[in-house]
Amino acid sequence: MSSIAAASCSNFHVPAHHESHSLVVKLLVVEDEPRLLRSLSEALREEGYAVDIAADGVEGLYKAENTAYDAIVLDVMLPGMDGWEILRRMRRKQRTPVLMLTARVASAAPRTIAPRSRFAATPLRRCES
C-alpha cells in the first residue's frame, strides 16, 4: 500500500479506517496551489480517506471549526489567513492532528510546533511502503 509522505517518506499516519468502526477517516486538506491540492486530495482518496478541500485560509478555518475531522493537512502560506493563524485559532477549541505543509522549511524555524502537529516540506512525492 502506498502512502503520502515527505521526501524522506517518514509517514504522518492516520489509518484509513477506524479500527473500532467501519467508518472512513475524514481529512481536510487546505492548500492554495491548485495542482498540489488536486494531486494530494486524489492520492488520499485513492487510499480510502474521505477528503474535504479548502483553497484559502478563511475557508480552511471555517471548515476546520465546523466539521469534525480526524486530521488536517494545512499549508503554511495561504491567502486570506496563513496556516499558523488557522492552527492557533483551532488550538483554542480542539486538538485535531495537523500536518503542516511548507515550501520554505525556514518559515517553520521560528515557530513552536503545537502538540499533535507535524511538518512536511513540499513538494510531496508518493512513496511505496
Q: Are 92 and 5 in contact (CB under 8 A)?
A: no
pTM: 0.72
The answer to whether residues 111 and 117 touch, using CB atoms and an 8 Å cutoff, is no
- pLDDT of 61 above 70: yes
The predicted pLDDT at position 24 comes to: 86
Rounded CA-CA distance 129/115 in Å is 26
Closest of 118, 108, 117, 27 to residue 67, by C-alpha:
27
- Rounded Cα distance between 6 and 126, Å, is 8
d(CA 15, CA 88): 25
Average pLDDT over the chain reads 77
Residue 51: strand, helix, or coil: strand
- Spell out the CATH class of 23-128: alpha beta
- Share of residues in the chain with pLDDT > 90 (%): 57
Top mean pLDDT of 44-48, 58-62, 121-125 is at 58-62
What SS3 class is residue 100? strand
